[in-house]
Structure 1
Amino acid sequence: MTGATGRLGGRVARLLAERGVPQRLAVRSPARAPELPGAEPVACAYDRPDQVRAALDGVDTVLMVSGSETPDRVAQHLCFIDAAAAAGVRRLVYVSFFGASPTATFTLARDHWDTEEHLRASGLTPVVLRDNFYLDFLPELVEDDGVIRGPAGTGRVAAVAQDDIAEAAAAVLLEPRGHDGATYDLTGPEALTLDEAAGIIARRTGRAVTFRNQTLEEAYASRAGQAPDWQLDAWVSTYTAIAAGELDGPTDDVRTLTGHHPRSLDDLLAGGAPVEDRT
């Protein structure tokens, strides 16, 4: 298990611990790893092949949560994959991104494509989980004045709850052999415009929330000086990818893996449990 100190990886680790699955938590800072029954934290930075090989020695299956957003993230991913192969790992489950491709509008989706391609050429057996944008992130787009701003237009995004991604990943890890070589597109049950998302957030929170479309120039100007250029491109392209229709298209993959329908934005904000699939 990687990423156990983060929001997504931590969810997966807790789900496995609840099922009594022994796991090795490969994390950069073992002192920050969650204390879970049957879990052993070990030091492992993606760009330290010696640590990776030691952490993964004797491990058959690894969940690789994508690393922090940095300019050298792809290089770190490739280093980890190569070291995992050298350690004798057989199967690597990679948390990628919906619509990953070399020409994706969302700049970081191109990083995921490069990682996927290297994984497929590594000799490891790949399982790829391509999650859409986090549903949990949509309320965080609301600025202090109650406005979501970005050049998303009327495009739609099939955002998915982190809990649903974690449950899908845990399902794969519990019975990994049945998923060898598979790629899953993890989405929510619906594709929303940001105007529709703003309406749901407003209704559930009792706060006045609206969406205001920006031009590309306005988007960059409003964020100027807040981050390096590569990160500004990533931020702005989260919206332009929605506008381009590249985040649309709900799938049944969460239901297929977990046995329940994925949470909607309304479900998430209401704090409701997922609806079991009884078909």
Structure 2
Amino acid sequence: MIVITAPTGNIGRHLLPRLLESAPAAGEELRVVVRDPARLPDAARGRVEVVTGSHADAAVLDRAFAGADAVFWLVPPDASRPPRDGWSGFTRPALKALTAHGVGHVVGVSALGRGTPLADRAGLVTATLAVDDLIAGTGVAYRALANPSFFENLLEECDSIREKGVFTDTLDADRKVPLVAVADIADAAARLLLDRSWTGNGSVPVLGPQDLSPDDLARVMTEQLGRPVRYVRQSLDELYGDLIGYGLDEEFARAVVDMKRAKDEGLDAGVARTAATASPTTFAHWCAEVLRPAVLSPSCS
């Protein structure tokens, strides 16, 4: 039995179809934890066991983890709470349920930067790495998918890209960093969940096929969208002011800023790209398949 948390989220909505395709042949049953079962894809209906509720709820987890062999664990960001509460606090009920039900394997969504001098001052990344430590501390076999920033973050800017031909970030315009498509993260998670020959604790970097700078992104978007797109660098102070203006918790907003600062200082640069750590989806392909339809639609929502 494989349990999938957040099956309708950015990664889960790619992971669930992959497991629906492969799990039956492997003799695996699937169970999902979801607040609103109506949001599950039609292909999942009647083929997965559904536990309705939040995976922050101890009673929900007690039902969900009973008889489970493996769990895909993802903490949904909560911008209304300080990161320590939002990540570690959210995960603590799962620690008891994993132990109580003897779950053997957990795959989690994490971040790059562990072992670097920046790891303890990287805001949201620091909070994410703390969750890895909590889960590993239960004694379960654990693999943390260590990811850089997602291509999909640009979807938050698609109105600006459509209307102004502009996207923003806080990175230096020519700083090349790894970036990844969430579909590739889902593929890595599916492989680990289906082949549980691994033991102990460790991380699995998912780095995308190449490092790209904001100026590189602008060039590729211009080519793929058929319209000029340029990058405008935002200061960290401007970013913080914007986040507070959107109503985010002050500690959460500060943690976003600290993460952005750490990334600009090289947080994601410590892992070499190899055949084992690279993933296949190029930014050009992602733009053609995901960003272009979003930008050309009347609204990104």
Q: Which TM class, normalised by the smaller chain length?
A: 0.7 to 0.9
Match status 1:81 vs 2:95: yes
**Which of 99, 109, 115 is 2:113 aligned to?**
99
Match status 1:110 vs 2:131: no
Unaligned runs of 5+ in 2: 291-301
One-letter amino acid of the counterpart of residue 6, structure 1 = G
Alpha-carbon offset, residue 3 of structure 1? 1.0
How far apart are the structure 1 equivalents of 2:279 and 2:39?
A: 33
Does structure 2 retain, via aligned residues, the 8 Å contact 1:172–1:179? no
Match status 1:201 vs 2:201: no
One-letter amino acid of the counterpart of residue 106, structure 2 = L
**Which of 13, 30, 35 is 1:10 aligned to?**
13
How far apart are the structure 2 equivalents of 1:195 and 1:242?
A: 16
1:275 — aligned with what? none
Structure 2 CA distance for partners of 1:155 and 1:245, relative to 1, 3 Å: farther
Match status 1:47 vs 2:56: yes
How far apart are the structure 2 equivalents of 1:250 and 1:135?
A: 19
1:150 — aligned with what? 169
2:141 — aligned with what? 125
Aligned residues: 269
Alpha-carbon offset, residue 205 of structure 1? 0.5
Deviations 1:136-189 (A, max 9, x none): 223544524222223211333211111111111111111012365231111111
Deviations 1:68-124 (A, max 9, x none): 334232201122222222222122111111225784554111111111111111122
Alpha-carbon offset, residue 249 of structure 1? 5.5
Alpha-carbon offset, residue 196 of structure 1? 1.3
Tell me, what secondary structure is at the counterpart of 2:61? helix
Give the TM-score taking structure 2 as reference length.
0.79
Bigger mean CA offset, 72-81 vs 97-106: 97-106
Does structure 1 retain, via aligned residues, the 8 Å contact 2:207–2:279? no
1:241 — aligned with what? 262
Give the TM-score taking structure 1 as reference length.
0.85
1:232 — aligned with what? 253
Match status 1:170 vs 2:212: no
**Which of 28, 41, 56 is 2:35 aligned to?**
28
Does structure 2 retain, via aligned residues, the 8 Å contact 1:66–1:96? no
Does structure 2 retain, via aligned residues, the 8 Å contact 1:138–1:197? no
Q: Which has the higher contact order (CA 8 A, sep 6+)?
A: 2
One-letter amino acid of the counterpart of residue 204, structure 1 = Q
How far apart are the structure 2 equivalents of 1:28 and 1:223?
A: 27
Structure 2 CA distance for partners of 1:58 and 1:139, relative to 1, 3 Å: closer
Tell me, what secondary structure is at the counterpart of 1:47? coil
Please report the RMSD computed on the Cα atoms of aligned residues, expressed in angstroms. Answer: 2.6
1:276 — aligned with what? none
How far apart are the structure 2 equivalents of 1:109 and 1:160?
A: 16
2:288 — aligned with what? 270
Structure 2 CA distance for partners of 1:140 and 1:16, relative to 1, 3 Å: same
Match status 1:217 vs 2:237: yes
How far apart are the structure 2 equivalents of 1:263 and 1:2?
A: 24
Unaligned runs of 5+ in 1: 273-279
Does structure 1 retain, via aligned residues, the 8 Å contact 2:152–2:182? yes
Match status 1:63 vs 2:72: yes
